[in-house]
Amino acid sequence: MKSLTFIDLFCGCGGFTLGLEHAGLKCLAAIDFNEEAIAVFKKNLSHVPQVLKSDVTKFTPSELAKLIGTDRIDVVVGGPPCQGFSTVRQADGANHGKRLVEDARRFLYQDFIRYVAFFKPRVFVMENVLGIRSASGGEYFTRVQKEARAAGYRVHAQVEDCVELGLPQKRRRQLFIGTRLDLPDYFHPEIKPAPRACVHPTLWEAIGDLPALKAGEGEETCDYDTVRRKAHVEKYGRRYLYSVLQISRAGKLTAHRARPHSDRDLRDFALLKEGENSKEAMDRGVEFEFPYDKKTFKDRYTRQHRSEACSTIVAHLSKDGLMFIHPTQNRSLTPREAARIQSFPDWFEFPIARTHQFRVIGNAVPPLISEAIGIAVKNHIEKTMKKSKQVKFFIQPLPSGEKQAVQWLMELVQAADSKALRKLPSDTFKRGWFSVGFLYPGLHPDSAIDHGTEMSNEVVNHSEIRKIEPRLLAPYYVESGWPVVLAPVAREAWRRYEASELNDDEFYCSEAVVAGMCDRNPTLVDEVKREREKAFA
C-alpha cells in the first residue's frame, strides 16, 4: 500500500512530523512562521518537499494545494500555539476573563480547521495543552470540537499521558482527533507505546551517559564520552539510547552546552537534594540566598531526580532553567538533555542559538509520542479503507463471514421442529434466514418446498460448513438442491413471508447472496460496486 500522506501546520522544529514519519506516513508540507523552527526542520527533515516559513493565518490552503500538486491528503496534523490556553497562566488569572479574548493565539485552531475543511483528510489530529479544557470555562474546548464537526468530522477529544507511552517525562497533552463523516467506523484511538519505546524509562536512562559539565561549559559540537556510555549501558541497558535516541546514527554530540548561572543561583542549587524543589527545601529549614517572600513561598528551583520522570519540558526553559536542575551536577539541563527527554534522536540537530533551541524543543510534540499516534492513525485508516471497499447492503444483519453464517443458521436448525421455529424471535429468524442466502447462492426460496423426493449424500466442497456442521451439506434434495435439514426452516420462512413478517427483500434476500459471494471472492467487490453505482445513478 502507498504511504499515507500528511501536512503539518504550526510544525515547529518537526517533532510531530518526525514521529509520524517513523510510523510510516509521508509528510508533503509543513508550515511555521518561526525562522529558527523552520531552520531546524529543514536541517533534519530535508526530504519534505515543502517546508514553508509562512503565517498560517495568511497562507491559503489552495496556495498550498498548488505547491504540493494535490488537494488530496490523508491526514492533517498540527499544534496551534498553546500559550493562550496554558494553565501556567491561570495563576495570574489570565486564562479566563477579559484578557482571554485579547489573546489572538487562541483562535489559531480556526486556521487549522480551515485547512481541514479544504483538504478533507480522512483523519486530523490536533495537539494542545490540557489548559484548553478549562480555558474560559471550557468554551474553547467545546468550540474546537463543534467547529470541526461543522466541517464534516466525527470528533473525539483524548488526553495522552506521555509517561505511559514511554517518555521519561511527566507530560499530558490534549488531542483532538477527527474522522471524516463518510468513513466507516468510529475511531477509538487506542494509542499504544511505539514498538521501540521502553516501559517507564527514568530520566537517568535518557541522559546519564552524557559528559559531565559545569554551568557555562560545553561546546556546540563535541565527542561522546564512550567510557561513560559503556558504563551507563552496562547498568541501564541500551534500549532508550539506541532505539529511541538512535545514538549510533549520530557521529558527534551536539547542543550539549550548559547555560551559565549567577554564583548566587549556583550556591542555592547546591542546597537542593535530588528530586527536591525550593519550597520543600525551605520546609526542612534550608535558607536560600535568593530573597524569597516567605508568604508566597514560590518554588523557584527544582532539582530533577535520576530515577523518576522529568518535569514537563516547556518552551519557557528558554528563559531560565531553574526548574530543571540536573540531578547530580550543579547546573540546569542542556538543550541536548531536554531534547533527549523529549525523545528527539541524537542525530537531530538544532543549528540555532541556545535560547531558540530550548524553545523549539519545549514546544515540540515528542517524536516518540507522535509515532504512537501515527501508528494508531495508520491502523485505523487502513482498516477503514478495507471496509469502504466493501459493498453497502440494504438488509441487516448480515453475517461477517461463513463461520458466523453457519452459527446463525444453526440456531434455526437446532430449533428442531416447526413449533419451536415459529416461536423464535424475528431477529433470530431473520439472521438465520439471511445466512441461508449468504451460504447457498444457488438455492432459490421458491423451490424450497417443492423439493421432490430424491436425495443425495454426495458432499459438495464447502470448507467452513463441512468443518462446523456437515448436516448443512448433505443429505440434500437433488431436484431443488436444498439440504434436507433446512426444509423446516424454508417452510417457516414461507409462513412468515405470507404473514408479512418478512418483506420481499428479506425473503428473497439476494443482498445476502451477493454479500456471501463477495465474502468468498473479494475481487467481485469492485464489480458489484460499479453495477450498483450504475443502477442507482
Chain residues binding ligand SAM by CB under 6 A are 10-16, 31-34, 37, 55-57, 79, 81-82, 108, 363-365
Which of 16/269 has CB closer to ligand SAM? 16
Strand, coil or helix: 172: strand
**Nearest Cα to 379, choosing from 519, 191, 195?**
191
Strand, coil or helix: 191: coil
Shortest Cβ 28–ligand SAM spacing (Å): 16
Fill in the DSSP letter of residue 114. H
- Cell numbers found for residue 360: 523549539
Shortest Cβ 278–ligand SAM spacing (Å): 28
Shortest Cβ 202–ligand SAM spacing (Å): 24
| Sequence-ordered alpha helix ranges (H) in 222-366 | 226-236, 263-269, 278-283, 335-341, 354-363
Fill in the DSSP letter of residue 485. G
Which of 19/437 has CB closer to ligand SAM? 19
Catalytic residues: 82
Half-sphere exposure of 251 (CA within 13 A, CB side): 1
Which of 81/483 has CB closer to ligand SAM? 81
Which of 78/445 has CB closer to ligand SAM? 78
Tell me the C-alpha distance between 524 and 149, whole Å.
35
Class of residue 215 by CB neighbours under 10 A (exposed 0-12, middle 13-18, buried 19+): buried
Shortest Cβ 2–ligand SAM spacing (Å): 25
Which of 258/368 has CB closer to ligand SAM? 368
Q: Please, are residues 429 and 506 in contact by the beta-carbon 8 Å criterion?
A: no
Shortest Cβ 112–ligand SAM spacing (Å): 10
Please give the full DSSP string across 349-392, using - where no structure is assigned. Answer: ---S-HHHHHHHHHHSPPHHHHHHHHHHHHHHHHHHHHHHTSPP
Helix and strand numbers (H, E) in the chain are: 21, 11
Tell me the C-alpha distance between 516 and 435, whole Å.
8
Tell me the C-alpha distance between 160 and 176, whole Å.
11
Which of 369/489 has CB closer to ligand SAM? 369
Shortest Cβ 46–ligand SAM spacing (Å): 16
Half-sphere exposure of 115 (CA within 13 A, CB side): 32
Inter-axis angle of helices 402-413 and 426-439, to 10 degrees? 130
Tell me the C-alpha distance between 456 and 454, whole Å.
7
Which of 48/364 has CB closer to ligand SAM? 364
Which of 364/493 has CB closer to ligand SAM? 364
Shortest Cβ 143–ligand SAM spacing (Å): 18
Shortest Cβ 29–ligand SAM spacing (Å): 13
Shortest Cβ 233–ligand SAM spacing (Å): 29
Can you say how many angstroms the Cα of residue 268 is from the centroid of all Cα atoms in its chain?
A: 43
Closest residue to bound ligand SAM by CB:
12
Tell me the C-alpha distance between 303 and 333, whole Å.
10
**CA-CA distances (angstroms) from residue 277 to 124, 241, 402, 505?**
39, 28, 64, 72
Please give the full DSSP string across 137-151, using - where no structure is assigned. Answer: GGHHHHHHHHHHHHT
Which of 281/364 has CB closer to ligand SAM? 364
Tell me the C-alpha distance between 178 and 459, whole Å.
51
Listed in sequence order, the residues at least 6 apart from 101 whose beta carbon sits closer than 8 Å to its beta carbon are none
Tell me the C-alpha distance between 418 and 492, whole Å.
7
Which of 34/95 has CB closer to ligand SAM? 34
Shortest Cβ 90–ligand SAM spacing (Å): 18
